[in-house]
Amino acid sequence: MRNIDSIYINGKFIAPSGTDLLDLVNPTTREVFGRVTLGNEEDAKLAITAAKAAFTSFSRTSVQERSAMLQRLNDAILDRIDELAEANILEYGAPRMAATGRVKLAAANLMDSKEALEQFEFVHMIGKAKVIAEPVGVIGIITPWNASYSQITAKLGAAIAAGCTVVIKPSELSALQTQLLTECFHAADIPAGVINVVNGLGATVGAELTRNRHVAMINFTGSTRVGKEIRRATVDSMKRVTLELGGKSPNIVLDDADFTKAIPAAVRSCYTNNGQACVAGTRLFVPEHRLEEVKKLARAAVESMKVGLPSEADTILGPLVTEKQYNQVQHYISTGIQEGAELVIGGVGQPQGLEQGNFVKPTVFANVTEEMTIAKEEIFGPVLSILTYRTEEEAVEMANNTDYGLGAYISTANLEKANELASRIQAGVVLINGAGFEMKAPFGGFKHSGIGREYGIYGLEDCLETKTITGFDLLM
Ligand code: NAD
């Protein structure tokens, strides 16, 4: 049994004053493998006090000092890469082939923040004024369970680069991963109080961070529902908020695309991270007259993917994080069938031989219409909805007909057309012809997918306040 019974405040692992316990459950077997002691409001207050005290000197550190800290944090994570990857497999169900990459991504976020810090102009002139970028203050970092390591380091890297101190409230479902990551932070020899980590629930530790007047900013990734709650809760204390929220990203395949590449790529994009990715391309738009071909290609793509134990090297799809998430996805699959979508492959229930865990049958629906629940709501499981269009105009209109606006995907042989469509799609990130993400470039959502941008220079800027000084060169 793994007992996580400490929180990290002011450079020390200490017992929380909260005493509630939460079981840590292996999603592959549904067996309890550990327990976390949850912190409470008092613990959050203690962490905020430590972060506030540390801010005075940390906010005045040099670029060189903070750059060295980011390097040490990166190195400390890479020193324990195997252990971190194993925890990601055990606690989250990440397939082995993805787990190591996720740890590397978490470390790379810190190096990208380091590069942004070294390039950033903290002082510049506008007319007679000196304009200075200053750290905003104590930042509350609140993260989800679906990419715990990299979500934390993206926010932490930006905060450290800016000269801000932090209190991190990770997802209560990622306690083991957070414990190991925090041990890496401790090993990196960062000044006490700069990084504080408090396990706990959103309603207690999260809520204290959002209302406490000593916290200047909340950097949150999670659901749109909670993002809205946080935005409301931060009004009275006038906090800045960066909100990275949910998505229902469109994937438009134009008639001239190579369907033998575009359709399998669309399936992979939808099923990435076991189907639990905010940017998953869950709505696939194809020309009406190509539907039968698309269905065949999608079915073949699903059949070629191994759903299995995350510990096995060739598994592509592992289990969902919790039984609750499993039940939610089952509900969406049933709703799709009830509302008249055509089941191409998959369906309700577990894949044969995997009944012991939160495994979902990778599912594809065709003949989905815009009114159907599965076309509108974020499912957060491996469920792809295929919709058809007659004209490109109609495709763009349907792609934008959502409250969300996080990612979008386009496939076509005509790059001019691709760039034109990209300019008309309401989304924070557009990926053309299977291109990957540029992690130094800004990431964030339009509409209900969020406020603010993360990563690289944009992430750093989100953690800074601007001060204008005139007369700095005038003697009385
Ligand atoms: P969630 O919104 O339920 O929880 C996220 C975090 O918020 C957790 O740490 C939770 O404890 C905390 N929280 C809950 N209620 C709170 C409150 N009232 N005050 C303060 N904190 C509170 O999300 P989740 O289920 O952990 O993660 C899945 C969601 O995250 C999906 O909607 C997904 O799209 C989104 N997500 C978005 C991005 C992005 O970059 N846009 C990335 C990953 C995940």
Q: Average pLDDT of 3-23? A: 98
Catalytic residue (choose from 244, 378, 454, 461) = 244
User: Within a domain: residue 417?
Assistant: yes
Facing residues of 240 across strands?
217
How many domains would you assign to the chain? 2
Domain limits at 254? Answer: 250-438
Please give the DSSP secondary-structure letter assigned to residue 393. Answer: H
218 and 241, same domain (yes or no)? yes
Residues 254 and 231 in one domain: no
pLDDT given for residue 295 in this prediction: 98
Whether residue 444 lies inside any domain: the answer is no
What is the structure's pLDDT at 131?
Answer: 98
Of ligand 1's atoms, which has the minimum distance to the CA of residue 225?
Answer: 2
CATH number for the domain spanning 464: value is: 3.40.605.10
Whether residues 219 and 293 fall in one domain? no
Is 394 in the active site?
no
Whether 458 is in a domain gets the answer yes
> How far does residue 145's CA lie from ligand 1's centre (Å)?
8
pLDDT band at 80 (very low <50, low <70, confident <90, very high): very high
Local confidence band at 148 (pLDDT 50, 70, 90 cut-offs): very high
109 lines ligand 1 (CB under 6 A): no
How crowded is residue 327: how many other Cβ atoms within 10 Å of its Cβ? 11
Q: What pLDDT digit, counting tens, does each position of 355-408 carry?
A: 999 999 999 999 999 999 999 999 999 999 999 999 999 999 999 999 999 999
**Are 296 and 205 within one domain?**
no
What integer pLDDT is reported at residue 346 of this predicted model? 98
Give the dihedral sign, CA 288/290/295/297: negative
Q: What average pLDDT does this structure show over 463-474?
A: 97
Residues 159 and 129 both lie in one domain: yes
Q: Whose CA is nearest to atom 11 of ligand 1?
A: 202
In this structure, are 313 and 223 located in the same domain?
Answer: no
Kindly report the backbone phi and psi dihedral angles of residue 91, in degrees, each rounded to the nearest multiple of 5, phi listed first. -85, -35
Residue among 93, 435, 92 at smallest CA distance from 281:
435
Q: What is the pLDDT of residues 231-282, one digit of tens each?
A: 999 999 999 999 999 999 999 999 999 999 999 999 999 999 999 999 999 9
State the amino acid at position 57 in one-letter form. S
C-beta 272 within 6 A of ligand 1: no
Are 205 and 104 part of one and the same domain? yes
Q: Is 333 helix (H, G, I), strand (E, B) or coil?
A: helix
455 is a domain residue: yes
Kindly state whether residues 145 and 197 are assigned to the same domain: yes
Same-domain check for residues 197 and 235: yes
With a CB cutoff of 8 Å and minimum separation 6, the contacts of 89 are 95, 96, 99, 310, 311
In a domain, 376, yes or no: yes
Residue closest by Cα to atom 31 of ligand 1: 223
Cβ of residue 143 lying under 6 Å from some atom of ligand 1: yes
In this structure, are 41 and 80 located in the same domain?
A: yes
Q: For residue 435, what are the CA distances in angstroms to 160, 392, 449?
A: 30, 21, 21
Taking CA atoms, 340 is separated from 40, 329, 336, 368, 386, in Å, by: 46, 17, 6, 8, 13
Residue 239 lies in a domain: yes
Contact 190, 73 (CB under 8 A): yes
Read off the pLDDT of residues 322-341 as tens digits, 9 standing for 90 and up: 999 999 999 999 999 999 99
Please give the Cα distance from 217 to 240 (Å, whole number): 5
Whether 452 lines ligand 1, by a CB cut-off of 6 Å, is no
As given in the structure block, the two tokens for residue 51 are 């972060």
Same domain, 200 and 56: yes
Domain contains 474: no
Q: Nearest to residue 357, comparing CAs of 3, 25, 23?
A: 25
- Decide if 476 is inside a domain: no
- pLDDT class of 100 with cuts at 50, 70, 90: very high
Residue with CA at minimum distance from ligand 1 atom 20? 206
DSSP assignment of 128-165:
TEEEEEEE--EEEEE--STTHHHHHHHHHHHHHHHT--
Same domain for 241 and 373, yes or no, is no
Sheet containing 2-4, strands listed edge to edge, beginning at the edge strand earlier in sequence: 2-4, 32-37, 21-25
**Are the C-beta atoms of 12 and 186 separated by less than 8 Å?**
no
Q: Which residue has the least CA distance to atom 35 on ligand 1?
A: 222
Averaged pLDDT score across all residues of the chain? 98
CATH number of the structural domain spanning residue 289: 3.40.309.10
- Residue 36's φ and ψ, nearest 5 degrees, are -115, 140
CB 217 within 8 A of CB 136: yes
pLDDT at 336: 98
Task: Please provide residue 26's backbone torsions phi and psi, each rounded to the nearest 5 degrees.
Answer: -75, 120
What pLDDT is attached to residue 118?
Answer: 98
